[in-house]
Amino acid sequence: MKPERDRRTEILKALAHPVRLGLVETLSDRRLCVNDLAGLFPVDRTTISKHLALLKEAGVLEDERVGREVYYRLRVPCLQEFISCLGRMSGGVGREQSECCAGQSKIEPEVLEGKEYRK
């Protein structure tokens, strides 16, 4: 039996590329069109468009057409804090890592019981 489709994994997969992660960080506080974004990354406009489409399909970004341009912005603003937390975790060791998410509750083992996860 196949496990149900999990939107969380789709979002994490969409973020799991350096360019897409950079796009999300860039769009966290402003909206930009493909041409503006293409000038900020070491890839061509077509590649940027494909990454944006994937992020949009995952529900991370939304777009708005203004004349001939399509502008993108972050659809889920809380992702920026999540990405910042990942950055603090990956850069810190020991105490800094644990302080990143201080006060956050952990998932109790009984919450995971009965769920199927692929290894």
Ranges of each domain in the chain? 7-74
Q: Does the domain formed by 7-74 have CATH 1.10.10.10?
A: yes
Tokens of 80: 């920026």
33 bridge partner residues = 71
- Predicted model pTM: 0.73
pLDDT in the model for residue 119:
39
Positions of the chain with pLDDT under 50: 97, 107-119
pLDDT in the model for residue 107:
46
pLDDT in the model for residue 80:
87
Length of the chain: 119
